Amino acid sequence: MAGLSLEQKASLLSGGDFWHTKEIDPADTTGGLGVESIMLTDGPNGIRKQPSGGDALGLGKSLPSTCFPPAVGIGASWDVDLIERIGSALGHEAIAENVRVVLGPGINIKRSLLCGRNFEYYSEDPVIAGRAGAAMVRGLQSTGVGSCAKHFAANNQETDRLRVSADVDERPLREIYLRAFEHIVTTASPTALMCSYNRINGVYSSENHWLLTEVLSDEWGFRGLVMSDWGAVNVRVKGVTAGLDLEMPGTDGRTNEQIVAAVNNGTLDEKYVDASARRVVELVAATAGSRDNAPATSTSSDPDEVVKGFDVRAHHALAREAASRSIVLLKNTPAGRQLGTGPGHRGADRNILPLSTHLSVAVVGRFARDPRYQGAGSSQVNPTQVDNAFDAMTVVAGNKVTFLEDADAAQAGDHDVAVVFLGLPPELESEGYDRDGWEIPDDQLDLLDRVHDANDAIVVVLSHGGVVDLGRVEPLATAILDGSLLGQAGGTATSDVLYGGTNPSGRLTETIPLRLEDSPAFLNFPGDPGHTRYGEGIYVGYRWYDARDLAVRYPFGHGLSYTTFGYGSPSASKGKDSKGKDTIRVEVEVTNTGDLRGREVVQVYASIAKSEVARPVRWLVGFTVVDIEAGGSTTATVEIPTTELAYWDRRTDSWVLEGGDYTFAAASSSRDLRGEVTVHIDGDDTAVPITKESTVAELLARPKGRDALMSAFSDKGSDNGSNPVASLMQNESEFKMVESVPLGRVASMAQLSDDALNTMISTANES
């Protein structure tokens, strides 16, 4: 910093243009050391480098890159190793395009199923979002490319997103909306974080000192760079003192001049400018090594197989693997009648999937040939190629597969099975706006009805970014494959699953309710003008449905396989992780009881028998994926940090691990619990100090509380000399009325002296 003028340091605090940081020529510095300009670009599921100009909404075409499954898809794999491999591939593609920082992953919580950008986020649960996001960060940064986790924080809707205030109590903010970010920061050390557009409890994220400095930097120890979302800065000078380092895109020097003026007139300490400029320089230095990690090129002689050095064929194969693991088999039942004749026929009592190549299949729905494979907006990628399911199915089964136009739906009756592709067209969900409803368009549902009239052996394949209403679909479908958005290789992956080349192993990362009205944020989304109230508190997603004992169509964590799995009785033991932090290790033997090799996602949920605060019925604390041969068994091990059991205590502004008996359930979904084990855990010794605002009940909960109360009223005896408190305590119903009264008011009403009150409080706090 010593070689840079104030003006030069201020210039580093905003972009040089739409996608680049500011360059400082070495010749213009006193020390002869300049600052290189580096490129940032969108890329949660593919590198979106625009050849010229730039926009934040995906309006302009970008250079070809691999379109991997968006977060809504790959999150359903629950496979952090796979996600890390995708991150590494994205890093290599970024290097090939001289991109130094990839703007991703997006890890916001799916608070409402109507959020138009849910396709870009992993889950309604912070454990999934945090683990998946951390894996993506590790993969990207393993190549030397920087990551930028986003959008920090509480960016859970698109309606009025540039100014809306997310009005959320600190407990749900900490336990739900910040939890995934905290995990990523403390375990994966992202190079950068992007602050969100919105306000949090009235304060813009870009100028929120509590969020960017007190929590992110001081509490979590984040040492990377904080940049704005594109156009998210409200008042630039406030942002500098709050901890916002880099404003994007560039403002042609306008806000830099504001920073310089504020320093010169004494309203901004130059130390804040120095700190932010230093972090920009550190970002440039931290990503310089990416240039030494040139990706391997394809061995193919076809020039179309190589795009600027990255292996197109290998990355497409990875995209196919990722897509196949992202597909969730929601339903698979027998057709109730024999399908086909001769070799490969399907008996009436056998599940319809996987399909036999001997069966004649009618394929219906435009998504079969024109797939919906990614979201719209800033994450929109120009893919290197796009597979479609119909073509892939014909490769497997040849002329046994026939595509029917919508008008020919009645001809589905001429085939053994109908595979109907349904979903949301891109105009119904996108960055920039939320959905008005969750229904699949009526014309598609009417098409399903017509197919069903002709053939009731139906496999439905879904394509969508946000949860859709299956009320008219589920009764008519013999099987349902939920493909969400699968990236450029999703068509082939869908065929792989339909014909059994891949055994489906995806699991839902968000609940599919029976009714939109049952969903947690229904009454508060998208809110009033300028404000959205997070009235559901900590009860987001499955936590809400469980707390209200609501039936759902498909629960969080649900997903079927072509094989079956049995669970033994789980065991639990206490231990420590590599950093010496307390953990609970849950182990359970899982057996593949079917005829095919398969992958099972073993989920562990915790609950506590008795708590002094409202807690969910159960909550996800860990998971693992096991791959088991038919008839084989393996021990699934889930290491759970005890911090996952803590709640945020608003009285002490800290995490509290409550002592008590915790039950850990090994499960196949949030409502398919296979076995439980209970462990007693000693809690934190963090008693809340007794004050004048504490209640009588809180005083009596302390070891010396009763004696302190009795002593304070010892000279307030009645006519017969008895202690009035002792007399009152003998009458349970009357004393119950007093338990909730603050001590200061008890003292006033009983004419207790300040000295006596203070002595009582002091005595109680000694215990």
Which tokens is 346 given? 């399907």
Three-class HEC string of 192-221: EEEECCCEECCEEHHHCHHHHHHHHHHHCC
Long-range contacts of residues 292-299, Cβ cutoff 8 Å, at least 24 apart: 292/144, 293/91, 293/92, 293/95, 293/143, 293/144, 294/95, 294/96, 295/92, 295/93, 295/95, 295/96, 295/143, 296/92
- Phi, psi torsion values for 293, nearest 5 degrees: -110, 50
Task: Name every residue whose Cβ is closer than 8 Å to that of residue 497 and which is 6 or more positions away in sequence.
Answer: 324, 327, 329, 353, 354, 481, 503, 504
Q: How far is CA 257 from the centre of its chain?
A: 38
Q: 532 and 169 in contact (C-beta within 8 Å)? A: no
Q: 386 and 312 in contact (C-beta within 8 Å)? A: no
- Phi, psi torsion values for 109, nearest 5 degrees: -80, 140
Give the strand pairing for 101-103 and 165-167: unpaired
Helices (runs of H) and strands (runs of E) counted in the chain: 21, 31
Query: Residue 716: what residue type?
Result: K
Residues designated as active site: 229
Helices (H), 338-480: 389-397, 442-454
Give the alpha-carbon dihedral of 731, 613, 586, 686, to 10 degrees: -90
Q: 332 and 479 in contact (C-beta within 8 Å)? A: yes
Which tokens is 309 given? 């050095």
CA-closest candidate to residue 627, choices 589, 664, 599, 605:
599
Output the CA–CA distances (angstroms, integers) from residue 367 to 457, 463, 491, in the order listed: 19, 8, 9
Which tokens is 706 given? 């009763």
Q: 469 and 516 in contact (C-beta within 8 Å)? A: yes
CA-closest candidate to residue 608, choices 657, 548, 559:
657
Q: What is the DSSP string of 228-249?
A: E-TT--S-HHHHHHHT--BBSS
Q: Please name the helix (run of DSSP H) or strand (run of DSSP E) that holds residue 607, with its range, or none.
A: strand 598-608
CA-closest candidate to residue 473, choices 499, 454, 447:
447
The one-character DSSP state at 173 is: I
Question: How many residues would you count in the chain?
Answer: 767
Torsion sign over Cα 543, 198, 120, 527: positive
Query: Residue 391: what residue type?
Result: D
Query: Coil, helix or strand for 91?
Result: helix
> Per DSSP, what are the bridge partners of residue 552?
513
CA-closest candidate to residue 713, choices 722, 700, 704:
722
